[in-house]
Amino acid sequence: MLKKYYIFAAEDMYRGLHGMYEIDIVEVADEDELDTIATAMSYEVMESYAEVMDQLEDAAAEYCDCDGDSEAFDQAYEDAFEDVCADNLYYYWYEIKPEFSGYSCQDLQILASDDYENFEKVYCVLK
């Protein structure tokens, strides 16, 4: 059974404080699919935020104990970068309240984009 969810995604360093976040309303069958969408959204925010990416790249380089020009360094850096990025994901979701489930995802998205904090209080089942 499909349910509608509200997703807030950012990166963990600033958590949307600088206006760098994404919100979406999705209709999915299970929380695994929801988690996949939210993770992708958080990665998109990180990738669009140059300062955060620079800090993540620096952190990944610190984990590498290899010579900077070697194939071993490249693989170690790639693995470390994936780890620090995964550690920097930030997202949460709430189910849309049943009384608003008849609204389209597009209409809910418009409402959420006006004032997401108020949207969460009014339209979402808060955990």
Q: For 18-77, what is each residue's pLDDT tens digit? A: 778 999 999 999 999 999 999 999 988 887 776 777 777 777 777 766 555 667 667 777
At residue 24, the pLDDT reads 97
Q: Is the pLDDT of residue 117 over 70?
A: yes
Average pLDDT value over all residues in the chain = 86
Name 63's Cβ contacts closer than 8 Å, sequence gap at least 6.
Answer: 76, 77, 80, 83, 84
Give the N- to C-terminal CA distance of the chain in Å, as an integer.
20
Q: What is the pLDDT of residue 69?
A: 63
If residue 26 lies in a helix (H) or strand (E), which one and from where to where? strand 22-28
How far apart (Å, rounded) are the C-alpha atoms in residues 29 and 32? Answer: 9
